[in-house]
Structure 1
Amino acid sequence: MERISKTSCYYFYGKEWKSWEELCANFIWEIPEKMNAAFYVCDAHADDKSKVAIFHEDGTGRKGKITFWELMSITNRLANYLRSQGLNQGDRVAICLPQRAEAIISHIGVWKLGGVSVPLTVLFGPDGLKYRLEHSGSKVVIVEDTALDALRKIKGDLKELKQILVVGDVELKENEIEFEEALAGMPRNFDPVELEPNDNMVLIYTGGTTGDPKGVVHSHSFIFHVPGNYALLCNGEIKPGDVFWHPSDYAWAGPLFDVAFVALFYGKPILTYVGGGRFDPEKAFKLIEDYGLTLLHIPPTALRMMRQVKNPSGRFELSSVRVLMSGGESLGKALPEWVSNTFGPQTVIQEAYGQTEATPLTVNCQRYFEYKYNIGKAVPGLKVEILDDAGNVLPQREQGEIAIGAFDGNPVVLKEYWKDTNATKAKFKGNWMLTGDTGIKDDDGYFTFVSRKDDIIISSGYRIGPSEIEDTLIKHEAVVEAAVIGVPHKTRGEIPKAFIILREGYKSSDELKEELQGFVKKKLSKHEYPREIQFIDELPKTTTGKVKRRDLRKMEGIISERK
């Protein structure tokens, strides 16, 4: 693809604005007629062969780095391999990898071919994987060896699946090939397919409160969603020596599209760290020191864990951090104050709001306005308002549903829910995309998040839909009915709690609770199991037989604004 110059709007036109309002008033999206997202996060920065794109480290201490030139070469080889296997534009490739360099390589390689990447977590059990792979129609799966057993149990049921690329050292079976072996011998030159901006790029599954998980489709123009991140994560400027990091799995929109591909878009390196699946707060401080990390996106749950580490400022060099942002749940005041005291006055704390369907939507940017312990102001180029139930914009200081202007040329809002026209239609009201969250906008344009209207559970930054947990529980021979809600947790924010009606002949016990938790871990996912279980004789229901989750929350003493 022909080299093109930087699109200046995504650098705020390289100038200092008098105010945030002036910046937003002058912002105009720049989206080319033909494009490929892979170019902007890889090939565009490959002329300098020494420019680092990825620092990588694993739990054993092995370290390395990949330059943009090397990244271009590796992703070209992957694109050539996928083409040799018969993949074409629009074909889906599932990427079941944790936070490691191969995940980034896989997304970019798939995009270059015009394919659609489908990020999945290695925490999924057979049932969780099967639904997503069947629903997406993925033809290839790139999987870490730790998740291979779960995939092997269901691969015979996947009619569309043709090939499995394995990252790791394991004995291979039919239709499996080692990732590096697949790329070996492939040409290192590949011209990224020129696409329409609205062509599908990525399919990300998000938890739902009813029915099956939804597949959120974003197009190639979504790669230009970065102005919000430029304001938020970069505080309105890119500096020499910037290194980005998010500690979470690359199966989710936040780590990928609010950090990793933002950094690469701006030609800056990311850190990938594979630490064995559990967040280690001590190691997080050590990574900051070792790599001179400057721009961090750390979920509130991880920050609370880091807060428990004794004397981090005395034990680790933390002065490199210039911005630490967080989101997914309210930060309050205690965490931002701890960040300031621990990291020092050079570190700016930012809070933001977004969702898989559109991210980010509101941001803080202390370069231009004061942080008031809320989710900040609307991103440049986006129209964000508070609506009533009829879809009318409410006056300031009135509570309603947070909504984003759609169909106005912005690349941030999702294209559609995969194979679900009804859900896609319900997501929009007129020219607005509905978030399902309630909030308030004040006279100065600041937004405050109030609550979620739906029943999504956010636990340790993961968005968990209760219906999948319920569906898995009732597959156990002891369970007649199950209902799941989120309950408060000191560290994780929320955790899933299951209310279960047992089948006749079974008695409640701690042993049965542990058995049911292990059943969900094995069948569905290690991060979605109900951490609390209560056996109950009857579930509260509506006259039509729907479980009244609101009544369950009342039973737990949870004061909720959810509808």
Structure 2
Amino acid sequence: MSAETERVWDQVEAGLSTDPAVGLNTAREACGRYAGEPGRLALVVRHADGRAERWTYAELDRACARAARVFSAAGLRQGDRVAGLLSRQVESWIVVLAAWRSGLVYVPLFCGFGSDALAYRLAASRAALVVVDHRWRAGLEPALESLDGDPHILTVTDAAGRGRRPGDRDFHAELERAAPDGPAAPTAGADPATLLFTSGTTGEPKSCVMPHSALLALMPFVRHSLGVGPADLLFTAADPGWAYGLYSTGAAPMALGVPRVLYSGDFDADAWWRVIREERVTCIAAAPSAYRRLLTPLERAGAAPPALRTSAAAGEPLDADTARRWAAGRAPAIRDGYGLSEVGMVLCDLVDGSPPRPGTLGGPLPGFEARLLDPGGEPVEAGASGLIAVRRPRYQLSTGYENRPETWAARWRGDEFVTEDRAVIHPDGRWRFLGRDDDMIVTSGYNVSPVEVERVLGDHPAVVEAAAVAAPGRRGGTVVRAVLVRADDAPPQPELEDQLRAEVTRRVGAHASPRIFDYVDALPRNEVGKLQRARLRTG
């Protein structure tokens, strides 16, 4: 590891409230350290009906101490698991901070999960207690019925106190009765803090063990890509059921004293812009798909609110059309990022790096070293594509797969974590993400990135969504198959297909031009909106 890389981690450690060699607790770093500063804002929660909640670090700390007492009274002890079926709401943060404070292990559950997905995660994690919002209580019941155990259920009821089922306890009523003296367990950096299940497209999801030191792995991202500090206000659109919402734009900014804004309602582009404007948000972090839906109000307004100075994206490739229209709307150029639950944010556009260029990434974040390897573990030639391999950093987001340790061990080649994602490095040092290795299309002896084909197809005004997958050719071999969602005013199919073939040939190459076109009403996506190409290959 280079001296510069070591210096980055030294700076991260120096910014903590305690020496990580002595002990480390995520709740202490993300909240408790600021609780002694009355009035210091931690969180603003805006609701669809216009209401706003404002929480200081002191208020959050007191609430999480009460929740920690509730968990203790239920018989939970250090190392037990607490699951949260919650979303962008303050209760998510009260529960997770209480779990971390108590030395419990938090299991985030995405509110879009079906009963089978919930049942698997609850059983695999051995959750002893579940906190669920009333909106998803009915959907949780089939999962609970399939379990061998009988976890405690705390329900966040609606404004009228409704939503509980027989045997449930009212979360807020329990909080009001509890003293703010819940246990603050002594934890080490290596102790587990979170058990987060990945959203793989095949096989059972892998359960990533995230220790208390996981928080430190995201500090370089907050400092060098988001570029935010205590004077900023971060609008975080990601759901805390996933690593980007829970850690990258959640606990990590909080640990640096950055106040955040959440919107609790369903996605509403006009409502988002209203919150950004009224709260004087300085930084927004969202998926490219969210930016696409924000474009029409932005173009109608003619400019972004003047306080907004930073835009960040992650979770899926950022297409050129969205980035161009966003910047043309007098909004800050979007800084793109690539990360994974196993390591953290790794490749990003940097505050002091080269200007963002859609379709490429600025390179490894300070603190991380990455290169491209072939399937045999050898470095690829300059300009060739390869698997992204990350040298073991001082801190990374996960320390293993609890349910699949052999899979975790197989991902390592010596001191490098080899991902399943493929990329290429340009001569100027910028990286281009090509997609998952198992999504690559091999046709006529060429490797075709579905991401590159989809980017071209999606730029056409008659295409709402596009996917590219491999398909058997009519004369044998493999060809590129395009699956499209057409706009209402799209030209006739033969005309549209000729235009798309020509454009892919021009921008990517004739070998990548789709030979087969299919049309659907919507593309299959997983719980976090990622395209599920595997379902298209087998469908």
TM-score range normalised by the length of the shorter chain: 0.7 to 0.9
> 1:208 aligns to what SS in structure 2?
coil
Match for residue 31 of structure 2?
A: 42
Rounded Cα–Cα distance in structure 2 between residues aligned with 1:365 and 1:171: 45
The aligned runs of 1:24-173 (5 Å cut-off) are 24=5, 26-29=7-10, 30=13, 31-169=20-158, 170-173=162-165
The Cα shift of 1:233 comes to 4.4
Pair 1:270 & 2:260 matched:
yes
Rounded Cα–Cα distance in structure 1 between residues aligned with 2:54 and 2:181: 21
Which of 319, 338, 349 is equivalent to 2:325? 338
The Cα shift of 1:450 comes to 1.5
The Cα shift of 1:288 comes to 0.7
The Cα shift of 1:227 comes to 3.1
Change (3 A) 1:527 1:438: closer
Match for residue 207 of structure 1?
A: 199
The Cα shift of 1:317 comes to 5.8
Aligned residues: CA RMSD: 3.5
Match for residue 352 of structure 1?
A: 337
The aligned runs of 1:161-560 (5 Å cut-off) are 161-169=150-158, 170-190=162-182, 192-235=184-227, 238=229, 240=231, 242-275=232-265, 277=266, 279-309=267-297, 311-314=299-302, 318-344=305-331, 347-373=332-358, 374-406=360-392, 408=393, 410-454=394-438, 553=537
The Cα shift of 1:76 comes to 0.5
> 1:117 aligns to what SS in structure 2?
strand
Q: Which amino acid aligns with 1:362?
A: L
Rounded Cα–Cα distance in structure 2 between residues aligned with 1:109 and 1:55: 19
Q: Deviations over 1:179-198 (max 9, x none)?
A: 11111221213452111211
Rounded Cα–Cα distance in structure 2 between residues aligned with 1:114 and 1:442: 45
The Cα shift of 1:239 comes to 5.3
Q: Deviations over 1:515-562 (max 9, x none)?
A: xx9xxx9xx988789999xxxxxxxxxxxxxxxx69x64x99xxxxxx
Q: Which amino acid aligns with 1:360?
A: M
> 1:49 aligns to what SS in structure 2?
coil
The Cα shift of 1:285 comes to 1.1
Aligned length: 461
The Cα shift of 1:176 comes to 0.8
Rounded Cα–Cα distance in structure 1 between residues aligned with 2:143 and 2:70: 24
Change (3 A) 1:417 1:530: closer
The Cα shift of 1:392 comes to 2.4
* Structure 2: gaps (5+ residues): 14-19, 441-456, 471-519
> 2:55 aligns to what SS in structure 1?
strand
Rounded Cα–Cα distance in structure 1 between residues aligned with 2:280 and 2:351: 22
Contact 2:115-2:140 within 8 A present in 1 as well: yes
Q: Deviations over 1:226-279 (max 9, x none)?
A: 3332245433x5252x1112223221111221112122111121112111x3x2
Rounded Cα–Cα distance in structure 2 between residues aligned with 1:269 and 1:198: 27
Rounded Cα–Cα distance in structure 2 between residues aligned with 1:113 and 1:493: 46
The Cα shift of 1:368 comes to 3.8
Q: Which amino acid aligns with 1:107?
A: V
Q: Which amino acid aligns with 1:371?
A: P
Contact 1:81-1:183 within 8 A present in 2 as well: yes
Q: Deviations over 1:320-355 (max 9, x none)?
A: 1111011222223332222222234xx342111101
Match for residue 478 of structure 1?
A: none
Q: TM-score, normalised by structure 2?
A: 0.78
Q: Which amino acid aligns with 2:396?
A: V
Contact 1:197-1:221 within 8 A present in 2 as well: yes
The Cα shift of 1:219 comes to 0.7
> 1:74 aligns to what SS in structure 2?
helix
The Cα shift of 1:364 comes to 1.1
Rounded Cα–Cα distance in structure 2 between residues aligned with 1:396 and 1:531: 30
The Cα shift of 1:443 comes to 4.7
Give aligned-pair identity as a percent.
24
Contact 1:305-1:491 within 8 A present in 2 as well: no
Change (3 A) 1:219 1:403: same
> 2:424 aligns to what SS in structure 1?
strand
Rounded Cα–Cα distance in structure 1 between residues aligned with 2:324 and 2:527: 33
> 2:258 aligns to what SS in structure 1?
coil
Change (3 A) 1:442 1:25: farther
The Cα shift of 1:215 comes to 1.2
Q: Which amino acid aligns with 1:349?
A: I
Q: Deviations over 1:30-81 (max 9, x none)?
A: 3433111110110111111101111012222221111100011000011111
Deviation larger for 205-214 or 115-124: 205-214
Change (3 A) 1:98 1:376: same
Change (3 A) 1:234 1:76: same
Rounded Cα–Cα distance in structure 1 between residues aligned with 2:177 and 2:6: 51
The Cα shift of 1:200 comes to 0.7
Contact 1:92-1:136 within 8 A present in 2 as well: yes
Q: Deviations over 1:95-125 (max 9, x none)?
A: 1111111101111110111111111112222
Match for residue 507 of structure 2?
A: none
Contact 1:399-1:439 within 8 A present in 2 as well: yes
The Cα shift of 1:444 comes to 4.7
Change (3 A) 1:494 1:233: farther
